[in-house]
Structure 1
Amino acid sequence: MFDDQEIERSATIAPSLTKAIKESRISIVILSKKYASSGWCLDELAEILECRRAMGQIVMTIFYGVEPSHVRKQIGDFGKAFNETCARKEPTEEQRQKWINALNDVGNIEGEDFLRWDNEAKMIKKIAKDVIDKLNATPSKDFDGMEGLDAHLTEMESLLDLDDDGVKMVAISGPAGIGKMTIARALHSLIRDRFQLTCFVDNRKRNYQPGLDDYGLKLRLQEQLLSNILNQNGMTVCHLGVVKERLGDKRVLIILDDVDNIRQLEALANETTWFGSGSRIVVTTENKELLQQHGINNTYHVGFPSDVEAIDILRKYAFRKRYPHDDFEVIAERITELCGKLPLALRVVGSSLRGKNVEEWEEVMQRLETVLDRDIEDVLRVGYESLDENDQSLFLHIAVFFNYKDGDLVKAISADCDHLEVKRGLQILANRSLIDLSTNGKRIVVHNLLQQMARQAIHKQEPGKRQVLVNADEICGVLENETGTGVVSGISFDISRINEVSIGKKAFKKMPNLRFLSVYKSRADGNDSG
């Protein structure tokens, strides 16, 4: 805290106060109706906003009995106090404009509005928590050392042109598994401090809801976007103009990951006019045609890594350092070639090779060489096959039933098995790069290529030994003929092509270990509801 009460008042703010502002990590501006009656306060504010612009200082706002729009436009009681100060202080036109610019900027910073709180103590408690959270935040190290990432980020920063005050939509395109999400997340971490509001919206296809028409779907998507970016749960959107109403005067960064349908863009970012000056919308997708339909012309296409970068990716996940001896290097070059230099495949195969000797590397190489046309799903299967039976089963269940799920997944899937064993299995799957596990273990993500591989692995199992059933015709047969067994623990039933199914009275009695049942209807556009 810096206490300025002992500073002697003068025409300009004291050097010690200017120094204190520059050395602060956070400035909290409390704007009241009489705030602008002090020339000192206005000078302080201009200095604070300059530090925010030049050094990325965090500025928090509290509107204490005054409307943000009154601050921005210098109207009402706030404007009256400002005009009186200008008449009394007689600032130069340059100084007066500096104050006006500072008030406009600070009025645009999302903050706490005292008039919306029924309890001031609760507001103060929330502000204190926000300050603690910001002070505890450290720059992300999650992406340090990733091969080729710096070059990708440099290209994206050039494309975004963050110094331009216009609103831009840009895209990251490329095949599945090339690293689009990684680039987008690293970009979000790198530039988020330059925006008033930011959010990373992952995998929009997960948010389709059953029974919604096109209009209802768009309303639902907007509710989720606004809840995310404004950090307000349970928001209700009653018409499609709400995004523009709430974000039209805000400098925002929105990253829409894995977009695969034009309606998602129409719902979430239909026009650049929806967002405030300097906003940036980043879209990642495999579908270039979708970008053309939406008029997004600024696109960064992610190419395959160079030979050197690809080998470095494999080496990083297999050894975390350079090769122990030259025998590995020759085999690594061949394995990299067989993986098609796809980063996801290099991660999975490299992770599966960790701790193995040269002979075991050669065995993996030989298996990859015999894969028909080296289909990428079969390449990824090598990592899956390196697991023991229990971990394979855990992976299949996660890929089919629990991808992108929030909440305590471990408790959900360990209801009748060893809790510690499941936690160990999750860590093994994360170590093998088959799942991405959040820091607190509450969110699990399986790449869509690995999901496809999981279904392929299930299909190759003997029918009577499948723990998870995913084929609709097979499920119909099991339910109608009551041929289920105690082996079955999960059913994922897509009824989109099923007119009707007659379920035998004892169909489920023969599956006493059935724990997971998902009935859904896939959509023609590839998205699911259920």
Structure 2
Amino acid sequence: MHYFYFILCQKKPSRRDQVLFLLLPLLFHCFCLFKFLSSFLLHAYMALQPLSSSSTRPSGFKYDVLLICGVGGTEDEEDVRELTDLLYGYLGPAELRTFRFTFTDHEAILEELIQISRMAIVVISNNFASSSYCLDNLSNILDYFDANGRLRQLLPVFHHVDPDDVAKGVHLKSFKDDHVDRLQLQKWTLALQQLANLPDHFHFGLEDEYYGGEIFEKALAKVISDDFKPLRVQDNLVGMVSRVAKVIKLLDLQSGGGVHMVGITGIVGIGKTTLAREVLNLIADQFEVVCFLRNVSNDINLCRISRRHDHYDRFLYFIPGKDEECVRFIYFFEAIKDICSRLCEKKVLLIVDDVDKLKQLQTLANITDWFSPGSRIITTSRDKHLLVSHGIERIYEVSDLNDEEALDLLTWTVFKDKIAPSECKEGLNYAVTLASGLPLSLIELGSHLCELSMLEWKYYLRSWKESPDETIQAVLELSLDGLVAMEKNIFLDIACCFKGYPLVEVQHILRAHYRECVTDYISALVSKFLINISSSGELTLHEWMRNMGKEIVRRKSSRMPCVSSRLWILEDIRQVLEDCTGTHKIRTICLDLSSTEEGTISWDGKGFKNMENLKTLIIKNVHFSEAPKYLPSSLRVLDWQSYPSQYLPPNFYPGNLSICKLPKCCFVSSEICGLLNKKPVNLDNLSFDNGEHSSNEMVYVSCLPNSREMTVMVSE
């Protein structure tokens, strides 16, 4: 700048100065261009280089487990090899890429092996410390894992040798007597102490059996907990190890032919997405490209193209071995199109989360030919039938946590530790019972308990039992999305009234109630894990699903029994009948007390008068002070055990009645004839008996259009 100022200030610059004045800007621009190009080429070169072994995020592991057999002599060589064969037999079928290495193998490859393995299992034998060669290799292994902060990925197995003796250096006595170099001996001693003091290790004595399965689960847990995690999941994934292993086995990663699809299904809140994420984290580096399409059920319907911008979906595009990951927000159908164009001929791991439409699966099927053989597609869905109908044969159904797993998860959520204070165990066990093995409820419950004192636990758990948590309720209600109106109504009927009833009986009741066959609707509810059918043919459902259904009915009626569509609680029914507050909104009353309970309703018999839309009335094990003076003619199902009279109300017209069961009643034959004379044209199930003295008579009811053979049990 000073030179330019000098030139400009001269009155008559020389010819040399004029040339310099013209050349200097050109030289300056050339210098800037050179600097830019050199910087660009340097960055391009660095981008093409593989990650170093000291990278903070290890990737590109060739092996999941390095199984090292440390044999110091020939005396125990056979036993140690038997143990390593056993471990290899567990690790191989679980799709954990395992390499077996013996210290007698070539030493030069050991350093490379430990760099390309996620974790190492080191089997230490009784004579291990008698070999300087084995001790040197062990020191090298520990140095590498320690230098890279991965000591937790080391799992020692002590075979016929006490870890305490190893830590004390008892087995190095012979080297001390041989006057081995002091520094070398100190290095061996520190290595053995470090190995023996690792928190996770296994010890097999002379009389102990080999627990290969336990070692396998511990190894898998360490592989899963490795730092290489493209997708984040919560800490302390209780019960996840065995579930991950089963999904990986279904993926059949060692089979390179074709593109396989695996489905993960189960109830809402059971951990399907978490499981899929953990599987991805474990096997991501075996693929060229990893894609995760999250929560596609909230995306647009694929049968139409919408440009709404309030339902975005996350598409994770990750290439293992690179420093960066490209995260973009796109629609599901755009994601599929993008995958086809970008990932053609690539070995791809694609996870599609929360599929709820067949169109989505059909779209996935159309792109499998684009991927390289060995690619895998994992889909999660609440609808098992959806996966089956698409032809996905490999399906893993996620089950509830057992009591032990549930207690571990709750304890960790509350105390951030595996061990709870002794004074809390009773409260935790009760909370586990309330959560019913659902991870969602355990985590939500634990997040509240950790903020409360022990004195507050009792009151909070009581309120939790009486009123479902709003957060859990909102998540569970997502499972009702996409149901047709009839499916939702049938689910609410079963949740409120028919848990534990035989399937066949419920089908008859609901068919009469809705005047429609309900078999397909019930099957749809089963496939969506809203209800279940036990091995004995009874309808069951998860306790949280049942509570969710009841809460929907209560909320819709503003918790006022008189306007509720369904009544099933003794106190609510007693209030409505004794106070005569029933309305046209009541459609089902099911008061079925167990034989150990006693219920009494003291009324004037007029409680049903205003229930002109009541269709189903089921009463069992309840004593009424008087017989009903009125029954709605809208009734389609009448099942009243110990009906308190010999006669039905004279103003009752049974034209809509399909099922009439009055067990343990005191009816007489003349009353049956009177009922039939009123021509109940829809009646197809008629049963009377007094419970003690009855006879079976097969009768034909010729006056009824739907007449059929019916068993009528009448008192003698």
TM-score normalised by L of structure 1 = 0.42
- Judging by fraction of residues, say which structure has more helix: 1
- Judging by fraction of residues, say which structure has more strand: 2
Structure with the larger RCO, 1 or 2 (CA within 8 Å, 6+ apart): 1
TM-score normalised by L of structure 2 = 0.32
